[in-house]
Structure 1
Amino acid sequence: MSELALYDALRQGLWVAVLISSPLLGVALVAGVTIGLLQALTSVQEMTLTFVPKVGAMLLVFWVSMSFMTTTLVAFFTDSIVPRIEGR
């Protein structure tokens, strides 16, 4: 495998990682900012108040987006990695 092919596979793999992680990171960002604003408005500074809803929202989004994540990973593997292993 040439250097360019390796860098291309690495670039594609990183892009797949960004695509797969974006729903979870997006919901964590939105939940964190929303809860932070509510805490600032009500002057309640409880650590578990930020942790529990954020984890709950992330679990819900993970459960909903699992099929997207699996499809993306399988497509990357079958379309990009397997042909490189076979030498096509």
Structure 2
Amino acid sequence: MSEEQLYDTLRQGLWIAVTISAPLLAVALIAGIAVGLFQALTSIQEMTLTFVPKVGAMLIVFWVSMSFMTSTLVSFFNDRILPQIAGG
């Protein structure tokens, strides 16, 4: 494996990691902002109020996007990693 192939594979792997994590991070950001705004408007400063909705929203998005994540990782492994292991 040449140095260019290694760096290209690492670059693609990092891009796939960003692509897969983007929906979860976006939902965590939106839920955090919504709960923070709710807390600021109502003056409720409960710690579990910030944690539980965020985790719940992230679990729902994870469950919905699990097939996308799995297919992305499997295609990367089959198209990029396995040929390099086989020497192609």
TM-score, scaled relative to structure 1: 0.97
Structure 1 residue 75 corresponds to structure 2 residue 75: yes
Amino acid at match of 2:25: L
Amino acid at match of 1:82: L
Aligned position for 2:49: 49
Q: Structure 1 segments of 4 or more deviating over 2 A?
A: none
Aligned position for 1:85: 85
Cα distance, 1:33 vs. partner?
0.4
Structure 1 residue 17 corresponds to structure 2 residue 51: no
Deviations 1:26-77 (A, max 9, x none): 1000000000001001111111000000000000000000000000000000
Aligned position for 1:62: 62
Aligned position for 1:35: 35
RMSD: 0.6
5+ long unaligned stretches in structure 2:
none
Kindly tell me the number of residue pairs found equivalent between the two proteins: 88
Cα distance, 1:83 vs. partner?
1.0
- Identity %, equivalent residues: 75
Aligned position for 2:5: 5
TM-score, scaled relative to structure 2: 0.97
